[in-house]
Chain A
Amino acid sequence: MTTCIEIRGLSKTYKNSKQLIEALKPIDLDVHQGEIFGLLGPNGAGKTTMIKLMLGIIAPTSGSCHILGQDISSLKAKELIGYLPENHRFPLYLNGQQMLEFYGNLGGMSGKTLQKRIDEVLEFVNMTEWRKLKIQRYSKGMMQRIGLAQALLNRPHLLFLDEPTDGIDPVGRMEIREILEVLKSEGTTIFVNSHLLSEVELITDRVAILRKGVVVKSGNTHELTQSRDQYIITLAGGTPPASLPGMTTYNAETHEIELTAASPEALNVALDALRQNDCLLATLSPKKSTLEEIFIALMSEKQEYLAPAK
Chain B
Amino acid sequence: MIKIYALIRETFLEALSKKVFLVFFFISTAGLLILLAYCSSSGFQEQIHNLQPTADDPLGVALREKLRSLQSGLSFAFFNAALILAIIITSDLVPNMMTKGVIDLLLSKPLSRTMLLTGKILGGFAVVMVLTLYFMLGSWLIIAIATGVWTSGYMLSFFPLIITFWGLYGVLAYVGIQSRSSVSGMVICFLIVYTVSPLLFSREELLFQSVTSDFWRTLISAVYHLTPQVADMAQITSNIVQEKTVTNTVPYYNSLAYGALFFLLSAFSFSRKEF
Contact = CB atoms under 8 A, between A and B. Distances in A.
Contact of B3 (A79, A98, A108): A108
Interface in A85-111: 85-89, 91-94, 98, 101-103, 105-110
Interface string B86-105: 00000000000001111111
Contacts of B274: 14, 58-59
A115 to B, nearest CB: 13
Interface string A68-93: 00000001101101010111110111
A52 interface: yes
Interface in B1-48: 2-3, 5-7, 9-10, 13-14, 16-17
Nearest to A79: B110
Contact of B106 (A101, A106, A160): A106
B109 A89 contact: no
> Which residue among A83, A89, A94 has the maximum number of chain B CB atoms within 10 Å of its CB?
A89
Interface residues of chain B: helix, strand, loop or mixed (majority) = helix
Contact of A103 (B14, B101, B104, B109): B109
Nearest to B11: A91
B250 interface: no
A109 B5 CA distance: 12
B5 A85 contact: no
B275 A75 contact: no
A78 B99 CA distance: 21
Nearest to A82: B108
B10 A102 contact: yes
Nearest to B15: A93
Interface string B214-233: 00000000000000000000
Contacts of B111: 75, 106
Contacts of B6: 101-102, 105-106
A58 B108 CA distance: 11
Interface in A1-19: 14
B66 to A, nearest CB: 45
B108 A81 contact: yes
B135 to A, nearest CB: 24
Contacts of B103: 57
Which of B5, B100, B275 has most A Cβ within 10 Å? Answer: B100
Interface hub of B16, B100, B101, B110 (most chain A Cβ within 10 A) = B110
Interface in A53-67: 55-59
Nearest to A80: B110
Contacts of B152: none
Contact of B107 (A55, A79, A87, A108): A55
Contacts of B50: none
A140 to B, nearest CB: 14
B108 A57 contact: yes
Given A57-B275, A75-B111, A105-B2, A88 B13 contact: no
A85 B110 contact: no
B126 to A, nearest CB: 16
Contacts of B105: 83, 85, 88, 103, 150
A108 B104 contact: no
Contacts of A109: 2
Output the residue of A86, A92, A98, A105 with the most chain B CB within 10 A.
A105
A102 B108 CA distance: 14
A93 B14 contact: yes
B235 interface: no
Interface string B45-61: 00000000000000000
Contacts of A79: 110
Interface in A104-145: 105-110
B112 interface: yes
Nearest 5 CB-CB pairs, A to B? A105-B6, A93-B17, A89-B101, A78-B110, A83-B108
Given A57-B275, A85-B105, A105-B3, 14 more contacts: A14-B274, A52-B275, A55-B104, A58-B275, A78-B110, A85-B104, A86-B101, A88-B102, A89-B100, A89-B102, A98-B13, A105-B6, A107-B110, A109-B2
19 contacts: A14-B274, A55-B107, A55-B108, A57-B104, A78-B109, A79-B110, A83-B105, A83-B108, A87-B100, A88-B104, A89-B100, A93-B14, A94-B10, A105-B5, A106-B3, A106-B106, A106-B110, A108-B3, A150-B105
Interface of A: 14, 52, 55-59, 75-76, 78-79, 81, 83, 85-89, 91-94, 98, 101-103, 105-110, 150, 160
